[in-house]
């Protein structure tokens, strides 16, 4: 389980005439993602999703608040050690073009402190699960976009983390490749893994997520199951929920 408690991230922005202003990209966000749950993180561009995910993954230190992971053995983990329990993938996390997926998995496994035998075993498992047999030994820069994304996901799995944080993993992929990734996440959820999933594709979130957390301007707008959100907003689908909660709010803010 992963818990975000009163997370705040403040940045300084330079505007014209050298004037500096401070703003909260993430503003007092608290939520939890349970074991065996897929939480969808949605919001418009610039809402603070990537900053929030980076803080959850331990890549960025929060200005205020705290991220903690309750590991399988019940131990609460904070700070630098978070990374050992998390597999993080974003649109910005690319792989080394001059290596093959198998070599990358070996390198990551070794840094995570795994023995070579365990790495080899785990690598075969991952290659099998993600259907990478045909290209696992090819250089990354020779792979197609879909193959590359599967190789990226494999990198997150090598240390068998309890929590996956995926930031738009299906961006730019064809239907077949994105289906493979979605199916994989469903399967991982069944194994009791926690998944935080950020996307702009509402249909994907609707199909995949147990709970939806929507954020706008760094603040949580809603945090509930898809069914409850539909009921509360009187909407037919998630796209409509999104428009009602975010778009209408943005319009009314603009009118004010």
Partner 1 sequence: MNNKWKIIKTLFLKEVCDVLRDKKAIMMMVFVPVIVYPLIMVVSMAIASMVDGNNDRVYDIVVYNESSRFDAENLENVLKENAVEKNEEDGSEEQLYSINYEISDKKISEEECKNKIDDKEFDAYIEITDIDEKMDVKAFYMESVNESSDAMDKVRKAVDSISDDIVQKNVENAGLDTNSFLNPISFEKSGLSSDEQMAGMLMGMILPMMIILSILISVMHPSIDLTAGEKERGTLETLLMLPVSGKYIVLSKTLTAAMCGVVTAILNILSMSAVFIIFIEQSKIAGMMGGFNIEFSSFISAMLITFPVIIVTALFMSAIFMCFTCFAKSYKEANSYMSPVMIVLMFLGYGSMSPTVELNQYIAIVPVLNVSVLIRDALNFKLDYSMFLLVLCSMVLYSVLAILFLSKAYNSENLLFGDGKNAISLFEKRSNIKKGMPVTIGDLCFIFPVVILIYFLLGALIQAKYELVGMPLSQFLILVGIPVAFFVYAKKDLKKVYSFNKCSPLSLVGGVLTGIGGFLIASILGDAIMKVTGITVNERLVDTFMKFYSQNVILVTVCVALTPAIAEEMFFRGVLFSALKDKLKPVYSVLIVSVLFGLFHMDLIKFFTTGALGAILCLLTYYGGSIFPSMFAHFTINFVSIILTKYATEQMAQSLNNPVFGIVGVAAVAVGLFIVKNSNKKIVEVVSAAET
Residues of this chain that bind partner 1 (CB under 8 A): 14, 16-18, 20, 54, 57, 59-61, 80-81, 83-84, 88, 90, 92-99, 103, 107-108, 110-113, 152, 155
> Which residue lies nearer to partner 1 by CB, 40 or 62?
62
Minimum separation from the CB atom of position 90 to partner 1 (A): 7
The answer to whether 159 touches 87, Cβ cutoff 8 Å, is: yes
d(C-alpha 236, C-alpha 136), whole Å: 42
> Which residue lies nearer to partner 1 by CB, 152 or 178?
152
Minimum separation from the CB atom of position 30 to partner 1 (A): 22
Tokens representing residue 30 in the block: 């608290």
> Which residue lies nearer to partner 1 by CB, 22 or 227?
22
Minimum separation from the CB atom of position 56 to partner 1 (A): 12
C-alpha distances in angstroms, 126 versus 51, 113, 253? 29, 18, 47
C-alpha distances in angstroms, 255 versus 78, 132, 216, 248? 42, 51, 17, 10
Minimum separation from the CB atom of position 107 to partner 1 (A): 5
Minimum separation from the CB atom of position 32 to partner 1 (A): 22
Minimum separation from the CB atom of position 244 to partner 1 (A): 32
Of 174, 175, 229, nearest to 206 by C-alpha is 229
The answer to whether 180 touches 174, Cβ cutoff 8 Å, is: no
Q: Of all helices (H) and strands (E), which one includes residue 80? A: none
3-state class of 64 per DSSP? Answer: strand
Minimum separation from the CB atom of position 23 to partner 1 (A): 14
> Which residue lies nearer to partner 1 by CB, 123 or 152?
152
Rounded to 5°, angle at Cα 185 from 182 and 186: 90
d(C-alpha 200, C-alpha 217), whole Å: 16
> Which residue lies nearer to partner 1 by CB, 104 or 229?
104
d(C-alpha 179, C-alpha 40), whole Å: 17
Within 10 angstroms of residue 185's Cβ, the number of other Cβ atoms is 20
> Which residue lies nearer to partner 1 by CB, 92 or 255?
92
Q: What is the largest CA-CA distance in the chain?
A: 63
> Which residue lies nearer to partner 1 by CB, 98 or 191?
98
């Amino acid at each position: 389980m992963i818990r975000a408690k009163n997370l705040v991230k403040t940045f300084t922005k330079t505007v014209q005439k050298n004037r500096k202003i401070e703003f909260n990209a993430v503003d007092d966000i608290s939520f939890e993602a349970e074991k065996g749950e897929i939480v969808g993180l949605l919001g418009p561009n610039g809402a603070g999703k990537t900053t929030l995910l980076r803080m959850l993954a331990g890549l960025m230190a929060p200005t205020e608040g705290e991220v903690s992971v309750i590991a399988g053995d019940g131990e609460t983990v904070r700070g630098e050690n978070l990374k050992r329990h998390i597999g993080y993938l974003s649109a910005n996390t690319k792989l080394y073009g001059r290596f093959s997926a198998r070599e990358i998995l070996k390198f990551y496994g070794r840094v995570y402190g795994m023995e070579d035998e365990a790495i080899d075993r785990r690598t075969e498992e991952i290659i099998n699960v993600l259907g990478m047999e045909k290209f696992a030994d090819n250089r990354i820069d020779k792979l197609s976009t879909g193959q590359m994304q599967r190789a990226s996901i494999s990198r997150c799995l090598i240390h068998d983390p309890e929590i996956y944080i995926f930031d738009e993993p299906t961006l730019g992929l064809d239907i077949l490749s994105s289906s493979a990734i979605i199916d994989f996440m469903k399967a991982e959820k069944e194994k009791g893994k926690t998944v935080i999933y950020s996307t702009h594709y509402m249909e994907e979130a609707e199909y995949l997520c147990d709970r939806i957390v929507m954020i706008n301007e760094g603040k949580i707008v809603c945090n509930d199951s898809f069914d409850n959100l539909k009921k509360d907003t009187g909407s037919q689908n998630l796209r409509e929920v999104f428009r009602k909660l975010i778009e209408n709010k943005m319009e009314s803010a603009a009118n004010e």
